[in-house]
Amino acid sequence: MKSRNKPLDSTGNASFINKINKVKVLNLIRKTENVSRADIAKLSGLSAPTVSRIVEGLLEEGLVREMGAGVSQGGRRPTLLKFSEQGNFIIGIDLGTTQIYGVLSDFDAKIIAEVRRPTRVEEGFASVMKATAEVIGELIEYPLGKKKRIYGIGMAVAGLINRTRNIVEFSPNFHWHKVDVVEALSQYHKIPIIFDNVTRVMALGEMWYGLGKQFKNLICINVGYGIGAGIIIDGKPLYGPLGLAGEFGHATMDKDSRALCECGNYGCLEALSSGNAIAKIAQARLREGRPSVLREACGGNLDAVTAEMVATLARQGDPLAFEVFDTAVEYLGIGIANLINLFGPEAVVIGGGVAQAGNLLFDKVRKTVNSRALDKIASGVLIKPASFGIKAAVMGAVSLILSEVVNLNQDDRFSPLPG
Ligand SMILES: [Zn+2]
């Protein structure tokens, strides 16, 4: 979606004003239950004829439907309108390093069908794209009835995504440099594709379908193999000029650390707190000869120790496992305290594999934030697990397309697939 990056023409020409009014009306219908044309006129300040004209257009496009009659205020009973989730679909893809997870969703974030396939990173970019195209193909083929319309494919990818050039600049997890995902997939399917960094995508999903219904300022942190942050300010994700903002995992936490990060720096948060780091630190302590049940848990193969094993044994009271996990999560808590001081969010949401450790992680993070962040900023901040658990990225991918639909960013390349 190149059009998304272009500033809108704000010179006040007619088509610009028409579009703004249309977006206003569509979003009023989406957010307000049982709304009539007269209500919209009142709420939007637009004239009744303007509202009628816009609603007719939205009905024709299938974005809105009529719901029957409401209560009369004297005279004819008004027809109520509803944002149309029926017959309109979106494909969401979470392109992870272990699996490609695809869903077919309606506009209400209800999952209609899902497909999973192993990623096989070692087979290279072209092979991963072919497998992704197959997942998309299966979802397109899913029987949906005559009037289906698939609006687009949203995708979450781990790595530095350059939005101005629409490429993955660098993905250490996939070992990709400067790859064009959209071009590769468009050789298989002609549906518009939007992709973004997985953590920002998770934050968007949280904003559209989760905590965003309550809050306009939130930070979503993904703690898995690596660490990233999706920062939402006043309802808008922070991108930075190239779309590279939010690399929380590469904040230096310890200048004297000897923990080497995949970015080449030492002492990054990701080298101290990620799932990968937790596993590696535990392995190093075991090699030093420290006693721990972890040794039995991995069957003597220290390379097989995972962050999940460390969390499980930490919860069972193994001193080494607890020390490794607790130290890692303390660094994470310090990082989050810094983010809270900087951005003053209403909520911090933590997702990803390591967050599945539950209270073991959240209790320590909350305690560290309480002791390190400024009271006045941090006292009211809600810190909680991501609303969609392991589905956070894929639901965010769906919301990438939904946000284009409700902002009517549908240019020629963004027309729905006919049924
Ligand atoms: Zn780093």
Residue 260 β-bridge partners: 266
When the pLDDT of each residue in the chain is averaged and rounded to a whole number, the result is: 88
Determine the distance separating the centroid of ligand 1 and the alpha carbon of 327, expressed in angstroms. Answer: 18
The amino acid that residue 315 corresponds to is R
Residues of the chain with CATH 3.30.420.40: 88-205, 211-386
246 close to 253: Cβ distance less than 8 angstroms: no
The ranges of the chain annotated as CATH 1.10.10.10 are 2-83
Rounded alpha-carbon distances, angstroms, from residue 347 to 86, 114, 232, 330, 400: 32, 30, 10, 19, 21
| Model pLDDT, residue 248 | 95
Q: How far is the CA of 263 from the centre of ligand 1 (A)?
A: 4
Q: Give the Å distance between the CA of 325 and the centre of ligand 1.
A: 19
Distance (Å, rounded) from C-alpha 373 to C-alpha 342?
A: 10
Tell me which residues have their CB within 5 A of the ion that is ligand 1. 250, 261, 263, 265, 268
Kindly tell me if the per-residue pLDDT of 61 is higher than 90.
Answer: no
pTM of the model: 0.80
Poorest-confidence range of 11-15, 192-196, 281-285? Answer: 11-15
CATH 1.20.1300.10 fits 211-386, yes or no: no
- Looking at the domain that runs over 2-83, which CATH code has it been given? 1.10.10.10
Q: How far is the CA of 236 from the centre of ligand 1 (A)?
A: 26
Give the pLDDT confidence of 384-411 residue by residue, as tens digits: 999 888 788 999 999 999 888 877 765 4
In CATH terms, the fold of domain 88-205 is: Nucleotidyltransferase; domain 5 (3.30.420)
